[in-house]
C-alpha cells in the first residue's frame, strides 16, 4: 500500500507543529523520518494515526483520500503503529492485548481466546521469535513487549507500519534484531515509516530519508549520506558535541558505593551488586540503555530507597539509613531524571521552587515563617547567575521552557555547599543552548574537586562529559572504562557484553 | 515490614529478573493481634453455662436436635485451633511463602464459632442458625448489588462513591412506581432506571467534565438524600396510600429443596431478587472476564490510551459501564421498598452504599469476591440482630462497627495487597 | 515503598485545572511540549491586560455566580412542581395561564422572601435588634461550617480528601462534651478552655489515624475517613446508650447531660442572640490557616506535597510526616466545629446526630471557597445563611429544609464543572485561546 501525505499542517495555537509536510512511502520501502526531538515527527504520525486532526492537508492511501476520525479508522484502512510508549495493557495477557479492539468472538460477544493465541503464535513464528500468548505483558522484558506491539499491528493486517522511536528502549543487539524484522516486513511488501533521531540506524535500514526540522521538511537524503551531512540537515547547523575540559585533578572528596542492591517494592532487583568509587574532581558517567537500573541507582544515592543493601559512603560517612533530608544536608546535590515529575512543582513560582529544599530552617525559615524578602532576593540572584530566561521570579515554573526549567533545578541543587553532585539525564528535552550551559556548570562543579555522577543514555553525551564511563545492564555493572573507549566496545557493553580487558572495578 | 533478603531460588531462568522476597509479616501479625484480643475478651468476660444452637426449622425433612455445647470450653478449643493456625502462618512466612488461604479461612471460622459459643453461653434461648444465615443473605442483598455496581464502574476507571445514592434513588423510585402500578416488577425496573440515571450524572461530570470523581460521588450522595427527603415529606407523606405502599415480591420457596435442613430455608425460601443475586454475580464476572464488552471495559480502566489507539471509544465505554453499574445498583435499592418492607423512608439506606464500597475493596475489585464480602458484611450485621435475641454481652454498636473496622484493616493492607485498576480516578482526554 | 500512596491522590489537588486539558503528550514529544511552553511564556508577556479581562469573564467569579444562579433555579423548579396552588392553577393552564404564572410567582417569591428574611434581615420585626436576628443566626450556623470547611480545605491543599468530617466532629463533640459535663468544680474560663482543648485534640487524633494509615500503608484516605465516620458514630452511640459513660443520668434516651455554664462559649452579642464566641474562634482559625498556607514553612511543604508529592520528596520534604501532620491540623479544625456545636450552639445535651451533616457540608464549603481560607469564610457564611433561611422557609412556607441540601450540592457540582456553566451562560471558554495552563491531571496521565 502506498502512503502519501500532502501538505499536512497542524497548529497548536500560534505554534505550527507541522508546516505543510509532504511525504510519500512506497510499498516495500523503509522510509526514515529523521529529526531532532520536537521537530514534529510524532505530531505528524499522530495525525496519520487519527489521534490529531490536521488543520490542513490530506492523507492518501493508494491514491485515495482518507478521512480518519480516530485510530480505529486509521487501523481499518491498514495503518499500524508501534508506539514509542507501548500501548499495551500491563495486566492483560499477550493474546488479550493483541485481540483488543478487534476481538474474535464465538457466540454473542464471547471472547475466543484460542483463536487469539493462535494468531499470536502464527505471527511470531513467521518472524522466528517466541512469545507466550498467555504471559502477562507486565512480566515481559521491554524488547518482547515491543514484539507484542508489532504482532498487534500485523494481526490487523496493517500494510503501512509506523515505528515511532522504536530503539530508544532497546540494546544494540535488540536493535539489530528489530532491523532484521523491519527488513523482513519490507520484503513482504509493507510500507514502513521509521521515525528516529539516530543516524547510524537510519543509514543501516533506510531506503529513503526525509529530514524534518521545526515542523518543516528540510530535505531528503540518500542512505549513503555521511553522518555530518545528515546531522547538519537535522539540526540546521554544524553540530559540535564536545565539552571543553581539563584533565581531572583529584580532590579530597570521594563517593564509595559497595555491593549496592536495590529492589523495587514488588521484589524485583533493579540494582544488583553495584560497586564503584568516584573521586573528587572526576565525572563518572553511568551509561546504558534506559531502564537498566540507572534511575534507581541515583535514587538510592539520595535516599529514596531507604532499605537498600550494601553501603554508600561519602568521604567515609555512611549514608545508608538516612532520610532524603539528611542526605541533602550531607552535601549531595541531585538533579532528577524527570524534572516535571520529580524536580519541580509546576504550579509553584520560580522563587518557591528555588527554596523547595530549604523548608527546614534558617535562613529562609525563621520561627516557622517563610522569609519572603530573603527568598525573592535569593531567587533574583540565582535567576541571573543561571541565566534563567523568564519574565520574573513569580512566574509558575511550569510555564518555562524545558531548558530553563532544568536551569532552575540546577540552580537550586548547586546553591548548597556540595560534596557530591548526582545528575540524571541532565540535558534530556533541553534546547542546544541550554545543553552547553548545563554541561559547563557540571564541569565547573567537577573542577571544584567535587565528585560528579551523571546518568546519560546518549552515548555522545557520555563520551563528551565523562572522565570514566560505567555501563549498566540489567541492574549490573558491565564494566568501568575510560572515556576514550571505542564506541563499538561501549555499544557491546550496553548489551551486556563485558569488555575484554576488564576496567577497574573499584 | 518487608524482609529485603535476597532470594536466590528465583534466579533460575537467565532472562528472568532477579527478585527478592517481599513476603511481609503483616498476616501473622494481624492474626496474632486478633487472637490476643479474642483471648483477652474470653479472660475478662468469661460466661457460664451452655450454648444452644438450633439447626432445624419445623418444615424440614427431618429434625436435627438442638445442639447444646459448653460455652467457654468450646470458645477455648476454638482459640487453640486458631493458635495452631497462627503457628502455621508464622512458619510459612518465615519460609518466605504466603499464608495459604485455607489457613486464614479456617482461622476466621474457628474464632467466629468460638465467639458465638461464648456469646450464646448461658442463654435459655436457642441461637437459630437458620435465622442467622437467612437474615444474613437478606441483609446482604443491597450490599452485593451495590458492590457489583462499584466493581463495574471502577473496572472501567471511575470511582463510585455514589453507590449509596444509587441505592437510595432506587429505593425511592421503586416505592413510587411500585405503589402506582401495584407491581413489584415495575418497581424493580424503575429502580434500575433511576439508579442508572444517577450513574449518568456521575458519568457526565466525571467523564465529560472531568470533575474529581470522589467529589462528584460525595456530592451526589448529598443531592439524592436532599431530593428524596424533599419529595418524601412533600409528596409521599400526604399520599401514602397511592404513592408509598408497594406490593412486595412474594417469597418463592423452591419445592423439595426448601425442606433440606439449614440450607433449605436459608437459600431456597427467598424472593426472586435474592435468587437473581448469584445469577447477576455470575453474569458480571463472566461479562467482565470472558466477553468483548468486559475486555474493552477493563482496558479503558487500566490503560485508556492503549484502548484508544486500537479504536475503542474510551468515553463511550466508560459511560456505558456507569449506566450498567447504576442499573445493577438499582436492583439493590429496590430491595428496600419492594422486598424488605413496603414503603420508603427518609435516608432508609443508612450507609449501606458505603459498606458495599467496602465490600468491593475487600473483594479486590473482583465480582465474586466482592459478593462474598457483601455476604460476610451482611452476616456481621445480622449477627448483631441474632445475638441481641439470645441476650449477647457484646454491645450492639460494636457489632455494627465490625464491617467498617474489617475494611480499615483491608485497606491498610493487613489482609493482603490489592491493586485497583491503574487508570482509576483519571479522566481521559484524547486530544 | 511509598510509591503507591501517591497514585491515588493524583487528581485530588485541583480538579478545576483538569477542565482545560493538555493537547500534547509531552512524553511522546518532549520537544514539542517545550516549544509550546515557550510559546505560552511569550504570550504571557504580550497580552497581560487582555488576559486579565478574559479571566474575569471566563474565570472564577462568573462561574461561581452562574453556578449559584443555576442551583437556585433548580430549587425554584422543585418549589414550583410541589406547590399546591401551582398544581391547581396548572390544571386549567390553557384556559387561564396567567393564574399559573401568578401561582408560580407567589410560590417562588414567597419561598425566597422567607429565605432572605430568615437568613439576613427580617422586615417584619419591630425593632432593629429583632430584624438582624436572622443574620446572627446565619453567623451561628456558619461557625462550624467555616471551621470544618477549613479542615477540609487545608487537607485538600495537601492533596488529601478529608471525607471524615462527620467522624472527627463526633469524636471532638464527645470529648468536649465529656469534659464539659463530666468534670466539675472548675471555674469558667478554665473549664471552657479545657473542654475546647480536649475536643480539638480528639478531632485531631481521629483524623490523624487516617493520616497515619495513609502515610504508613498507603491506605486511601477517602476510604479510611469514610469508615472512621461509621466507627465514630457507633462508638458515640455506645457511649450515649451506656449509663455511666455519657448518657444523661436518669434518662433512657441516647443523649448527654447539658453542658454546664462554666464550659460554655459565652454569647457574643448578649443573651438575646444565639451567636457565641465560637464565631470569633472560627475567624481566628481563618487567619491562622491563611498564615499556615501562605506564610509558614509547614504550609509550604503541605502545598508542595499536594501539588507534586514526588518532587517534594526528592527535595527532602518528608511526605509521610506532612501527611500525618496536615491531617492532625485538619482534624483539629473540624474538631473546632464539633466543639463550637457542643459548647456554644447545642448546650442542652446532644445525641449522635450532633454533627448535623456539617462534616459533609464542609466539603461543599471548601470547594465553593476554592480551598482558600477567605473563600471558605464566604462560602461558610453563604451556606450558614441557606441553613438559617431554609428553616424559616420550612416554618413559613412548608418547604422541607432538604431543599437546601439540593441547592448546595448543585452549586458545588456546577462550580466543579466550569465548562458546563460557561456553556449554559455562553461565557467564553478559556480553551478558545491557546493559553492553557498545563494541567496537573494531564501530566499525571502521562506519567502513568
Cell numbers linked to C241: 446508650
- Cα nearest neighbour of B295 on chain A: A100
Q: Are residues B80 and B190 in the same domain?
A: no
Per residue in B356-377, pLDDT (tens digit) is: 998 898 888 999 999 999 998 8
Element (H, E) at C388: helix C373-397
Output the tens digit of pLDDT for each of chain A's 506 residues: 899 999 999 887 767 888 899 999 999 999 998 877 667 888 888 889 888 888 899 999 998 998 888 888 898 899 999 988 889 999 999 999 999 988 888 888 899 999 999 999 999 888 888 889 999 998 888 888 999 999 999 898 899 999 988 887 777 778 888 999 999 999 999 999 998 877 778 888 899 999 888 888 888 888 887 777 777 777 665 555 567 777 877 777 899 999 999 988 777 888 999 999 999 999 999 998 888 899 999 999 999 988 889 999 999 899 988 999 999 999 999 999 888 889 999 889 999 999 999 888 778 999 889 999 999 999 999 999 998 888 889 999 988 878 889 999 999 999 988 999 999 999 887 776 788 889 999 999 999 999 999 999 877 788 889 999 999 988 999 999 998 888 778 878 887 888 765 444 43
Q: Does A261 touch chain B (CB under 8 A)?
A: yes
Q: Is the pLDDT of residue C443 over 50?
A: no
What is the pTM assigned to this prediction? 0.85
Fold match between domain A3-235 and domain A240-331+417-499: yes
Domain ranges of chain C: 62-119+399-429, 144-397
Q: Are residues B166 and B306 in the same domain?
A: yes
Contact criterion met (CB below 8 Å) for C162 and C152:
yes
Contact criterion met (CB below 8 Å) for A179 and A205:
yes
Cell numbers linked to A471: 555501563
How is domain A3-235 classified at the CATH fold level? Rossmann fold (3.40.50)
ipTM of the complex: 0.83
- A-chain CB neighbours of B295 within 8 Å are 92, 96, 99-100, 103, 111
Question: What is the domain extent for residue B163?
Answer: 140-375
Length of chain B: 431
Inter-chain touch C31–A399, beta carbons under 8 Å: no
pLDDT given at position A390? 85
pLDDT given at position C433? 43
Q: Which of the listed residues B124, B153, B188 is the one where a domain comes to its end?
A: B124
As for how many domains chain B has, the answer is 2
Inter-chain touch B310–A72, beta carbons under 8 Å: yes
- Cα nearest neighbour of A329 on chain C: C316
Q: Are residues B300 and B331 in the same domain?
A: yes
Q: Is the pLDDT of residue B211 over 80?
A: yes
- Facing B209 at nearest CB: one of C19, C363, C408: C19
Q: Is C320 exposed, middle or buried (0-12, 13-18, 19+ CB in 10 A)?
A: middle
What DSSP state is assigned to residue B337? I
Inter-chain touch C45–A343, beta carbons under 8 Å: no
Per residue in C158-198, pLDDT (tens digit) is: 999 899 999 999 999 999 999 999 888 888 889 999 999 99
pLDDT given at position C448? 33
- Give the residues across from A481 on adjacent strands: A469
Domain membership flag for residue B309: yes
> With bands split at pLDDT 50, 70 and 90, how would you rate the model's confidence at C98?
confident
Q: Is the pLDDT of residue C444 over 70?
A: no
- Facing A75 at nearest CB: one of B298, B299, B310: B310
Per residue in B96-113, pLDDT (tens digit) is: 888 888 898 899 889 989
Q: Are residues B162 and B76 in the same domain?
A: no
Measured in degrees and rounded to the nearest 5, phi and psi for residue A263 equal: -120, 145
Q: Are residues B299 and B194 in the same domain?
A: yes
Q: Are residues B90 and B224 in the same domain?
A: no
Q: Are residues B84 and B188 in the same domain?
A: no
Q: Which residue has the cell 514488588?
A: A266
- Residue A73's alpha-carbon distances to A76, A105, A148, in angstroms, are 5, 21, 21
**What is the rounded CA–CA span in Å between residue C343 and residue C128?**
28
**What is the rounded CA–CA span in Å between residue A435 and residue A248?**
21
Q: Are residues B78 and B160 in the same domain?
A: no
- What is the DSSP annotation of C301-367? HHHHHHH-HHHHHHTT--HHHHHHHHHHHHHHHHHHHHHHIIIII--S---TTTTTTHHHHHHHHHH
User: What is the nearest CA distance from B220 to chain A, expressed in angstroms?
Assistant: 30
- What is the DSSP annotation of A265-276? TTSBEEEEEEEE
pLDDT given at position A160? 93
Per residue in C205-236, pLDDT (tens digit) is: 999 999 999 998 888 888 899 899 999 999 99
Measured in degrees and rounded to the nearest 5, phi and psi for residue A190 equal: -80, 155
- Facing B223 at nearest CB: one of C15, C218, C406: C406
Q: Which of the listed residues B124, B157, B175 is the one where a domain comes to its end?
A: B124
Domain membership flag for residue B157: yes
Inter-chain touch C43–A14, beta carbons under 8 Å: yes
CATH assignment, A240-331+417-499: 3.40.50.300
- B-chain CB neighbours of A272 within 8 Å are 18
**What is the rounded CA–CA span in Å between residue B156 and residue B312?**
13
Q: Does A449 touch chain B (CB under 8 A)?
A: no
Per residue in B4-50, pLDDT (tens digit) is: 333 333 333 344 556 766 667 878 888 898 899 999 988 888 888 88
Q: Are residues B296 and B368 in the same domain?
A: yes
Domain ranges of chain A: 3-235, 240-331+417-499, 349-416
Inter-chain touch A96–B312, beta carbons under 8 Å: no
- CA–centroid distance for A61 within its chain: 32
- CA–centroid distance for C200 within its chain: 18
User: What is the nearest CA distance from A74 to chain C, expressed in angstroms?
Assistant: 19
Q: Is the pLDDT of residue C51 over 60?
A: no
User: What is the nearest CA distance from C238 to chain B, expressed in angstroms?
Assistant: 6
* Residues 140-169, chain A, touching B (beta carbon < 8 A): 141, 152
- A-chain CB neighbours of B3 within 8 Å are none
Q: What angle do CA B265, B269, B274 make, to 5 degrees?
A: 120
- Cα nearest neighbour of B4 on chain C: C1
**What is the rounded CA–CA span in Å between residue A414 and residue A425?**
16
**What is the rounded CA–CA span in Å between residue A376 and residue A356?**
13
- Residue B220's alpha-carbon distances to A270, B71, C169, C177, C226, in angstroms, are 45, 48, 22, 32, 15
Over residues B381-404, the mean pLDDT reads: 82
Per residue in B40-74, pLDDT (tens digit) is: 988 888 888 888 888 877 777 777 788 888 888 99
User: What is the nearest CA distance from A111 to chain B, expressed in angstroms?
Assistant: 5
| CATH class of the domain whose range is C144-397 | mainly alpha
Inter-chain touch A357–C34, beta carbons under 8 Å: no
Please state whether beta strands A208-213 and A269-279 pair in parallel, antiparallel, or not at all (unpaired).
unpaired
Asked if the peptide bond before residue A363 counts as cis, ω within 30 degrees of 0, the response is yes
pLDDT given at position C431? 52
**What is the rounded CA–CA span in Å between residue C91 and residue C89?**
5
Per residue in B145-204, pLDDT (tens digit) is: 999 999 999 999 999 999 999 999 999 999 999 999 999 999 999 999 999 999 999 999
Q: Is the pLDDT of residue C3 over 80?
A: no
Domain membership flag for residue B319: yes
Per residue in C350-372, pLDDT (tens digit) is: 999 999 889 989 988 998 888 89
pLDDT given at position B84? 95
- Cα nearest neighbour of B302 on chain A: A89
- Facing C363 at nearest CB: one of B218, B395, B413: B218
Q: Which residue has the cell 536493535?
A: A175
Domain membership flag for residue B411: no
- Facing A100 at nearest CB: one of B4, B21, B295: B295
Inter-chain touch B309–A152, beta carbons under 8 Å: no
Amino acid at each position: 500500500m502506498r502512503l502519501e501525505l500532502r501538505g499536512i499542517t497542524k497548529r497548536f495555537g500560534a505554534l505550527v507543529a507541522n508546516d505543510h509536510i509532504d511525504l510519500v512511502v512506497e510499498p516495500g520501502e523503509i522510509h526514515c523520518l529523521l529529526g531532532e526531538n520536537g521537530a514534529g515527527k510524532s505530531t505528524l504520525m499522530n495525525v496519520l494515526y487519527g489521534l490529531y486532526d490536521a488543520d490542513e492537508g490530506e492523507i492518501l492511501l493508494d491514491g485515495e483520500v482518507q478521512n480518519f476520525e480516530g485510530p480505529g479508522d486509521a487501523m481499518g484502512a491498514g495503518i499500524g503503529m508501534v508506539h514509542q510508549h507501548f500501548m499495551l495493557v500491563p495486566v492483560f495477557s499477550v493474546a488479550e492485548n493483541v485481540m483488543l479492539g478487534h476481538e474474535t468472538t464465538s457466540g454473542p460477544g464471547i471472547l475466543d481466546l484460542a483463536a487469539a493465541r493462535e494468531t499470536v503464535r502464527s505471527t511470531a513464528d513467521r518472524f522466528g521469535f517466541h512469545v507466550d500468548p498467555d504471559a502477562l505483558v507486565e512480566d515481559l522484558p521491554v524488547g518482547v513487549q515491543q514484539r507484542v506491539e508489532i504482532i498487534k499491528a500485523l494481526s490487523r493486517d496493517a500494510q503501512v507500519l509506523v515505528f515511532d522511536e522504536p530503539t530508544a528502549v532497546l540494546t544494540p543487539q535488540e536493535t539489530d534484531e528489530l532491523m532484521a524484522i523491519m527488513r523482513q516486513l519490507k520484503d513482504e511488501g509493507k510500507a514502513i515509516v521509521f521515525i528516529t533521531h539516530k543516524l547510524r540506524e537510519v543509514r543501516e535500514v533506510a531506503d529513503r530519508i526525509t529530514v524534518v526540522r521545526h515542523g518543516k521538511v528540510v530535505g531528503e537524503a540518500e542512505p549513503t549520506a555521511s553522518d555530518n551531512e545528515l546531522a547538519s540537515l537535522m539540526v540546521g547547523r554544524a553540530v559540535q558535541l564536545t565539552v571543553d575540559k581539563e584533565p581531572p585533578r583529584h580532590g579530597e572528596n570521594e563517593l564509595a558505593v559497595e555491593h549496592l542492591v536495590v529492589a523495587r517494592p514488588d521484589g524485583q532487583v533493579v540494582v544488583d551488586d553495584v560497586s564503584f568509587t568516584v573521586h573528587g574532581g572526576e565525572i563518572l558517567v553511568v551509561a546504558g540503555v534506559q531502564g537498566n537500573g540507572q534511575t534507581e541507582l541515583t535514587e538510592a544515592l539520595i535516599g529514596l530507597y531507604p532499605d537498600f543493601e550494601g553501603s554508600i559512603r561519602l568521604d567515609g560517612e555512611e549514608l545508608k539509613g538516612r532520610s532524603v533530608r539528611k542526605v541533602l544536608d550531607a552535601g549531595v546535590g541531585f538533579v532528577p531524571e524527570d524534572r516535571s515529575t520529580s524536580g519541580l512543582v509546576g504550579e509553584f513560582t520560580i522563587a518557591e521552587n528555588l527554596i523547595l529544599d530549604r523548608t527546614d530552617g534558617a535562613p529562609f525559615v525563621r520561627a516557622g515563617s517563610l522569609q519572603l524578602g530573603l527568598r525573592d532576593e535569593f531567587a533574583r540572584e540565582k535567576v541571573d547567575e543561571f541565566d534563567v530566561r523568564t519574565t520574573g521570579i513569580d512566574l509558575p515554573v511550569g510555564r518555562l521552557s524545558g531548558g530553563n526549567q532544568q536551569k532552575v533545578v540546577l540552580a537550586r541543587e548547586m546553591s548548597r555547599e556540595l560534596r557530591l553532585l548526582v545528575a540524571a539525564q541532565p540535558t534530556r528535552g533541553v534546547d542546544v543552548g541550554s545543553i552547553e550551559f548545563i554541561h559547563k556548570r557540571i564541569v565547573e562543579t567537577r573542577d571544584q574537586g567535587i565528585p560528579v555522577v551523571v546518568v546519560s543514555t546518549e552515548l555522545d553525551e557520555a563520551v563528551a562529559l565523562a572522565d570514566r564511563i560505567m555501563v549498566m545492564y540489567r541492574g549490573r555493572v558491565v564494566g568501568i572504562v575510560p572515556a576514550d573507549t571505542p564506541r563499538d566496545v561501549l555499544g557491546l557493553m550496553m548489551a551486556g557484553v563485558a569488555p575484554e580487558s576488564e576496567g577497574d572495578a573499584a | 515490614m518487608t524482609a529485603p533478603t535476597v532470594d536466590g531460588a528465583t534466579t533460575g531462568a537467565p532472562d528472568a529478573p532477579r527478585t527478592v522476597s517481599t513476603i511481609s509479616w503483616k498476616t501473622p501479625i494481624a492474626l496474632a493481634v486478633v487472637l490476643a484480643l479474642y483471648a483477652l475478651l474470653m479472660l475478662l468476660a468469661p460466661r457460664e453455662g451452655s450454648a444452644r444452637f438450633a439447626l432445624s426449622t419445623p418444615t424440614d425433612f427431618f429434625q436435627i436436635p438442638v445442639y447444646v455445647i459448653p460455652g467457654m470450653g468450646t470458645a477455648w478449643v476454638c482459640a487453640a485451633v486458631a493458635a495452631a493456625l497462627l503457628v502455621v502462618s508464622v512458619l510459612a512466612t518465615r519460609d518466605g511463602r504466603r499464608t495459604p488461604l485455607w489457613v486464614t479461612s479456617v482461622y476466621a471460622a474457628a474464632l467466629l464459632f468460638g465467639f458465638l459459643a461464648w456469646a450464646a453461653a448461658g442463654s435459655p434461648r436457642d441461637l437459630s442458625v437458620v435465622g442467622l444465615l437467612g437474615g444474613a443473605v437478606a441483609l446482604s442483598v443491597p450490599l452485593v448489588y451495590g458492590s457489583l455496581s462499584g466493581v463495574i464502574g471502577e473496572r472501567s476507571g471511575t470511582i463510585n462513591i455514589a453507590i449509596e445514592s444509587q441505592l437510595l434513588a432506587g429505593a425511592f423510585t421503586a416505592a413510587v412506581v411500585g405503589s402506582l402500578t401495584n407491581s413489584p416488577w415495575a418497581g424493580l425496573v424503575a429502580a434500575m432506571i433511576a439508579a442508572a440515571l444517577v450513574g449518568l450524572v456521575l458519568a457526565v461530570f466525571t467523564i465529560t467534565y472531568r470533575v474529581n470523581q470522589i467529589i462528584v460521588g460525595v456530592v451526589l450522595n448529598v443531592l439524592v438524600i436532599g431530593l428524596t427527603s424533599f419529595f418524601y415529606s412533600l409528596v409521599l407523606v400526604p399520599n401514602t396510600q397511592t404513592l408509598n405502599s408497594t406490593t412486595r415480591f412474594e417469597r418463592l420457596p423452591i419445592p423439595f429443596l426448601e425442606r433440606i435442613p439449614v440450607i433449605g430455608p436459608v437459600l431456597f425460601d427467598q424472593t426472586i431478587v435474592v435468587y437473581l443475586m448469584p445469577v447477576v454475580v455470575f453474569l458480571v464476572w463472566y461479562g467482565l472476564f470472558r466477553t468483548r464488552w468486559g475486555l474493552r471495559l477493563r482496558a479503558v480502566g487500566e490503560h485508556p490510551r492503549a484502548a484508544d489507539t486500537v479504536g475503542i471509544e474510551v468515553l463511550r465505554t466508560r459511560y456505558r459501564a456507569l449506566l450498567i453499574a447504576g442499573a445493577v445498583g438499582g436492583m439493590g435499592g429496590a430491595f428496600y421498598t419492594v422486598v424488605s418492607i413496603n414503603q420508603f423512608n427518609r435516608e432508609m439506606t443508612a450507609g449501606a452504599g458505603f459498606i458495599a464500597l467496602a465490600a468491593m475493596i475487600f473483594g479486590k475489585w473482583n465480582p465474586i469476591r466482592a459478593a462474598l464480602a457483601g455476604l460476610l458484611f451482611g452476616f456481621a450485621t445480622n449477627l448483631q440482630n441474632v445475638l441481641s435475641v439470645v441476650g449477647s454481652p457484646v454491645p450492639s454498636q460494636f457489632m455494627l462497627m465490625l464491617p467498617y473496622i474489617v475494611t480499615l484493616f483491608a485497606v491498610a493492607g493487613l489482609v493482603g495487597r490489592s491493586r485497583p485498576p491503574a487508570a482509576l480516578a483519571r479522566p481521559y482526554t484524547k486530544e | 515503598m511509598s510509591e503507591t500512596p501517591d497514585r491515588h491522590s493524583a487528581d485530588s489537588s485541583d480538579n478545576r485545572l483538569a477542565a482545560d486539558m493538555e493537547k500534547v503528550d509531552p512524553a511522546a514529544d518532549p520537544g514539542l511540549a517545550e516549544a509550546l511552553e515557550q510559546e505560552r511564556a511569550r504570550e504571557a508577556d504580550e497580552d497581560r491586560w487582555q488576559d486579565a479581562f478574559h479571566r474575569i469573564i471566563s474565570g472564577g467569579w462568573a462561574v461561581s455566580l452562574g453556578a449559584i444562579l443555576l442551583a437556585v433555579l433548580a430549587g425554584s423548579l422543585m418549589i414550583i412542581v410541589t406547590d399546591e396552588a401551582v398544581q391547581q392553577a396548572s390544571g386549567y393552564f390553557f384556559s387561564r395561564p396567567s393564574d399559573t404564572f401568578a401561582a408560580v410567582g407567589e410560590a417562588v417569591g414567597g419561598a425566597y422572601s422567607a429565605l432572605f428574611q430568615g437568613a439576613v434581615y427580617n422586615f417584619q420585626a419591630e425593632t432593629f435588634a429583632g430584624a438582624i436576628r436572622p443574620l446572627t443566626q446565619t453567623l451561628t450556623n456558619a461557625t462550624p461550617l467555616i471551621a470544618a470547611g477549613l479542615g477540609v480545605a487545608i487537607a485538600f491543599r495537601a492533596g488529601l480528601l478529608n471525607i471524615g468530617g462527620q467522624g472527627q466532629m463526633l469524636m471532638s463533640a464527645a470529648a468536649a462534651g465529656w469534659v464539659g459535663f463530666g468534670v466539675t468544680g472548675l471555674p469558667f474560663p478554665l473549664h471552657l478552655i479545657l473542654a475546647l482543648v480536649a475536643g480539638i485534640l480528639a478531632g485531631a487524633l481521629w483524623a490523624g489515624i487516617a493520616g497515619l494509615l495513609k502515610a504508613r500503608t498507603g491506605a486511601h484516605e477517602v476510604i479510611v475517613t469514610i469508615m472512621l465516620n461509621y466507627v465514630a458514630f457507633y462508638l458515640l452511640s455506645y457511649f450515649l446508650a451506656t449509663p455511666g459513660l455519657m448518657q444523661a443520668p436518669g434518662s433512657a434516651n441516647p443523649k448527654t447531660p447539658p453542658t454546664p455554664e462554666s464550659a460554655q462559649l459565652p454569647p457574643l452579642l448578649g443573651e438575646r442572640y444565639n451567636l457565641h464566641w465560637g464565631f470569633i474562634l472560627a475567624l481566628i482559625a481563618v487567619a491562622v490557616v491563611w498564615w499556615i498556607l501562605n506564610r509558614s514553612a509547614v504550609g509550604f511543604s503541605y502545598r508542595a506535597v499536594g501539588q507534586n508529592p514526588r518532587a517534594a520528596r526528592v527535595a527532602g520534604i518528608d511526605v509521610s510526616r506532612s501527611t500525618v501532620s496536615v491531617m492532625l491540623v485538619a482534624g483539629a479544625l473540624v474538631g473546632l466545629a464539633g466543639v463550637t456545636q457542643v459548647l456554644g450552639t447545642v448546650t442542652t445535651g446532644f445525641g449522635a446526630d450532633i454533627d448535623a451533616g456539617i462534616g459533609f457540608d464542609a466539603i461543599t464549603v471548601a470547594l465553593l471557597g476554592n480551598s482558600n481560607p477567605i473563600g471558605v469564610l464566604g462560602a461558610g457564611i453563604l451556606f450558614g445563611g441557606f441553613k438559617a433561611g431554609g428553616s424559616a422557609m420550612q416554618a413559613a412556607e412548608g418547604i422541607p429544609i432538604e431543599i437546601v441540601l439540593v441547592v448546595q450540592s448543585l452549586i458545588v457540582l456546577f462550580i466543579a464543572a466550569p465548562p458546563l456553566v460557561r456553556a449554559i451562560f455562553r461565557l467564553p471558554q478559556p480553551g478558545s485561546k491557546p493559553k492553557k495552563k498545563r494541567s496537573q491531571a494531564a501530566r499525571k496521565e502521562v506519567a502513568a
